[in-house]
Structure 1
Amino acid sequence: MFEIRIICDPADADRVSHTLTTAFDTGSARQHPTRDGKRTRLYVTADHRPEPEVWPAPEEAYALAPSIISEIGWTADRARMHLHGRAVDRDYWLRKAALLDRMALDDETARVHTDAPEVAMNAALRLLEIDGEHSEAVTDPRGYVRQAYAHWINKQ
């Protein structure tokens, strides 16, 4: 952890603070006027951002996955159970997110423009929420799905 001190024009203080947050993991900037009152001193406690997580490639994550058709059937069955008052568990959300990710990957590979990537991202964010992860802490929610799925299927 380290401290950064910047002296800048008061009109630039917000832009400078924002720019620092993109480069470092920072706390809030503390602002004080300079002695002459014409500029602003910013003090920011910062740390290096953690290295991005390396997510498994889709081929690796889904190597043992059932066919997409099979997963559609499994997911639809569980969704029907949910409609009849039975709660769905984490496995449902994980398998649904993985299914939607695989469908989005197929569309992306075929260069077909659909809403599949957006739907897959929403499902990934739902899984992050269920797992108690903070989506802003995970740089690639769909990568997180692949990692979670690979871990889950290898335990089966």
Structure 2
Amino acid sequence: MFEIRIICDPADTDRITAALSGAFTAGAVRTYPTRDGERTRLYVTADHRPEPGPWPTPDEAYALAPSLIREIGWTARTAADKPFGEHLGREFWLRKAALLDRIALRAEEDGPRGDAAEVATEAARRLIEHDREGEGDYHGAPYWPEHPATAADPRGYVRQEYAHWATNH
């Protein structure tokens, strides 16, 4: 455990506090003005985050998933119902990435690989980008969108997020 002290502009306090909470297991942030009253002092007790566990397996992640046919239908309808250029929400990107991951998993079982794994990985990266931009309410446990393991295994991130979504949806 260690103590962090930061002196910053008061307007940056929320952004810095959020960054600290993302990087460390952090306690409550104590805030005091500097002597000149123009800046803010932040004090926080923090510790390194514990090493996260493994990604959920496909069986764990997709245990509650509807059939592939139903998900294809939902994804196609959702995309078709939105006027061109209108924002598709996080649920769309999550379910699309999970659908493509499930299709890629089936293709990998069948033998010779086509481009299903590549397409699934790109869809996973789109979801991660969506979550990084703060447009979604991602679960992020144990891996958040900026975590190095997420970049190394984007489809693992999709499984983590889908398992949480399916359980809580």
TM-score normalised by length of structure 2: 0.58
Match of 2:129 in 1: 129
Q: Number of paired residues?
A: 107
The residue type equivalent to 2:92 in the other structure is Y
The residue type equivalent to 2:116 in the other structure is A
The residue type equivalent to 1:97 in the other structure is A
Match of 2:166 in 1: 153
Distance 2:125 2:53 in 1: 17
> Unpaired runs of 5+ in structure 2?
1-49, 133-144
Residue 115 (structure 1) aligned with residue 122 (structure 2): no
Please say which structure displays the higher CA radius of gyration. Answer: 1
Match of 2:81 in 1: 81
Distance 1:136 1:119 in 2: 21
Query: In structure 1, the residue corresponding to 2:96 is in which secondary structure?
Result: helix
For the aligned residue pairs, the C-alpha RMSD in angstroms reads: 1.8
Which moves more between the two structures, 57-66 or 85-94? 85-94
The residue type equivalent to 2:157 in the other structure is Y
> Unpaired runs of 5+ in structure 1?
1-49
Following superposition, the deviation at residue 86 of structure 1 comes to 3.6
Match of 2:41 in 1: none
Percent identity reads 57
Q: CA deviation digits over 1:39-74, x for unaligned, max 9?
A: xxxxxxxxxxx8565100001100000000000000
Distance 1:109 1:52 in 2: 28
CA contact (8 A) 1:128 1:135 kept: no
Match of 2:106 in 1: 106
Distance 2:62 2:76 in 1: 20
